[in-house]
A = this chain, B = another copy of it.
């Protein structure tokens, strides 16, 4: 493979011929339009046109995904190569040229982007500033999962009430705490006073115990200047992390922040489900997360086993593999944040499927809602991971840990699938 082409893998669905659909995408996304043009010479096409490299037929589908035709419809996996010289390495250009018009094409009843194959020139992007190693360094967790929690209730607490929850979580023994992704700067808990109140607790806990809990503050704002002021306030208070709602700020907000950031950036992908939930439309997580890692995500929320949302366990496991597979180097891997309805019981299946403890394990309700309180909730999770890493089963683990046993009694039936 030459190194000066951008290769995009598409899943195409059409009542017609998938190869013709691929050829149409290649033409529309480079030099063509709806009618012949005097200036579109063969020489120009040869230099700048996108080329269909492979079209692999797949089984037809009974119903079209966009309901614009009567089923059945044909499907194929197609690789289209775009000359790097026609796009460059800018992420906005990449998205516009390779995806922008693709979802608009008439005659298709479904398009899904399965992967980006990016040439080495894309290594120009900053990538994660901290990633897996930096997250371990900043939290001081040198082995095993980084155990994390979130403020609950997610909305509604004043700065002082939030600080009290933070104190309880610090005392419960977590390594990391985060604002709920919906918490940015509401009227009842504005960003600056809330951050200051929380950081007083974090600093005090560090002075008393020597343990500096990482707290990720919800700095997201559509206005990058405002987001940067929030970032600077966190830095001034001695904080070291931030929650970034990547879809709500977009590539521009992320690129702006990463260039100026001193914080570990914890990505929440809310809104992503719309882009991926229909299996024949939108994006796989694989190409999506590559873009955001190149833009600078350090920690990536990817749900978990038996999540409370729609996503399947298999999809989570693929996401785990995706964020930890280097794009250009080990340094561009993101720390996988295993989350959503986690309470410890899922540690066994998570470890069995990923064989990894290089992860953050985030329990919200699973810690706050543990029958023995947050401290017991954290112990249950740590015990679960220790047992899982030793290859123990859940029965043995529960026998050795009353806190884990209590968690299984409360949540085991609903989520232990």
Contact = CB atoms under 8 A, between A and B. Distances in A.
19 contacts: A30-B154, A31-B153, A33-B308, A35-B410, A37-B152, A39-B165, A84-B187, A86-B188, A87-B186, A88-B186, A93-B185, A99-B270, A101-B309, A103-B271, A104-B310, A104-B311, A222-B295, A224-B255, A252-B253
A75 to B, nearest CB: 14
Interface of A: 29-40, 44-45, 47-48, 63, 65-68, 84-88, 90-93, 95-97, 99-101, 103-106, 108, 111, 152-157, 161, 165, 181-182, 184-188, 220-227, 245, 247-256, 259, 268, 270-271, 273-275, 277-279, 281-282, 295, 308-311, 341, 364-366, 368-369, 410-411
Given A90-B221, A105-B309, 14 more contacts: A33-B152, A37-B153, A37-B369, A39-B153, A47-B156, A67-B279, A90-B223, A93-B182, A95-B245, A96-B245, A100-B248, A103-B274, A224-B256, A250-B253
A154 B34 CA distance: 12
A90 B182 CA distance: 12
A106 B311 CA distance: 8
Contacts of A410: 35
A364 B259 contact: no
A220 B92 contact: yes
A97 B183 CA distance: 9
A236 B35 CA distance: 36
Contacts of A279: 67
Given A35-B369, A220-B93, A85 B309 contact: no
Contact of A152 (B39, B181, B224): B39
Nearest to A93: B184
B365 A35 contact: yes
Contacts of A226: 90
A281 B274 contact: yes
A88 B184 contact: yes
Contact of A252 (B33, B227, B309, B311): B227
A28 to B, nearest CB: 9
A252 B222 contact: yes
A6 B245 CA distance: 20
A168 B100 CA distance: 28
Contact of A245 (B92, B254, B311): B92
B155 A30 contact: yes
Contact of A153 (B44, B84, B85, B282): B44
Contacts of A277: 66, 103-104
B185 A90 contact: yes
A368 B38 contact: yes
A255 B267 CA distance: 20
